[in-house]
Amino acid sequence: MDTAPILLFVYNRPAHTRQALEALSRNTLSADSDLFIYSDAARSEADRAAVEEVRHIVREAKGFRQVHVTEREQNWGLARNIINGVTTMVNRYGRVIVLEDDLVVAPHFLQFMNDALDVYADVPQVGHIQACDFTNDPSLPDTFLIKWTGSWGWATWKRAWQFFNPDGKALLEELERKKLTYTFDFNGKYGYTRMLRRQTEGKNNSWAIRWNASLFLNGILSLNVGKSLVQNTGFDGSGTNCGGGNLYQSGLYMEPLPVVKIEPIEECAEARKAYSRYYAKTNSFTAKAIRRLKRTLKGDFGA
């Protein structure tokens, strides 16, 4: 089988990295897959020891056809590291599967991603595959199409990545000019537009919000799952962009998840409603206040 290359981005979390590698190596297609690991350099002296420990772990990674490790000599930051790594490898191989160090995958994750990359390879309206479901909404079908991109265990093709626009200001202006911000924000239920605006102001450096906006503005859909094959373990306060609270918990679906081509190729209206419901429930002022109070009482002072 001509499997897609796996890109794994790591930094300074040894325990998360080891857990991510162990889960990935237990996948049914791991031995037939090439793994490319990108290790960012320490941002400060305080991070140096942890970065070196992570590098020791990834140098010893086993269970894959081949393992290639790129050790950055300077701190690139996650956005630059991912944009460069994905661009380089998708141009070389035509398609990629992308993971970060805080993602634990189910045993059939690679099978699903490779199947989906094959099934939708020649469908230009689909540009992204996302294998994590954090809504836990039982109404969602096993797979569905939606105008939204998640960044926790994803894949894409060269033909789609060409639409990636790193210019957040241009993306924001186009969203506002076309009066699409309300839809982009799931009917105002989640602040994706605010996230993009903060990126343009230098208050975050999210590559994912720019990828999301790039495909959204081009009318390109994502294939998503209603049974999660990815679990994010980074909401423990250990990550740069992940606070506490375990807001996005998801259980792993441990069985194979078949990929059946969806016809017609259009957004699932019920899935968009399910996401809007989820964000309405979790992103309201009251919900945020309750979560913050619960975390404070537990001694968790994450964002």
- pLDDT digit string (tens) for 83-128? 999 999 999 999 999 999 999 999 999 999 999 999 999 999 999 9
- Rounded to an integer, the average pLDDT of 192-215 is 98
Is the per-residue pLDDT at 170 higher than 50? yes
Helix-helix angle 207-217:168-177, to 10 degrees? 40
Is the per-residue pLDDT at 290 higher than 50? yes
Name the burial class of residue 137, with classes exposed (0-12), middle (13-18) and buried (19+) by CB atoms within 10 angstroms of its CB: middle
- Rounded to an integer, the average pLDDT of 245-272 is 90
Is the per-residue pLDDT at 194 higher than 70? yes
Structure tokens at 34: 């090439």
Taking a C-beta distance cutoff of 8 angstroms, is the pair 214, 164 a contact?
yes
CA distances from 273 to 134, 135, 141, 281 (A): 15, 11, 13, 12
pLDDT band for 213, please (50, 70, 90 cuts). very high
- What distance lies between CA 182 and its chain's CA centroid? 22
Its CATH class, for the domain covering 6-163+220-298, is alpha beta
Is the per-residue pLDDT at 302 higher than 50? no
- pLDDT digit string (tens) for 29-85? 999 999 999 999 999 999 999 999 999 999 999 999 999 999 999 999 999 999 999
Q: What is the mean pLDDT of the chain?
A: 93
pLDDT band for 185, please (50, 70, 90 cuts). very high
Handedness of CA 47, 231, 154, 184 (dihedral sign): negative
Structure tokens at 273: 């409603």
Instruction: For the chain, give every domain's residue range.
Output: 6-163+220-298
Q: Would you state the pLDDT for residue 244?
A: 45
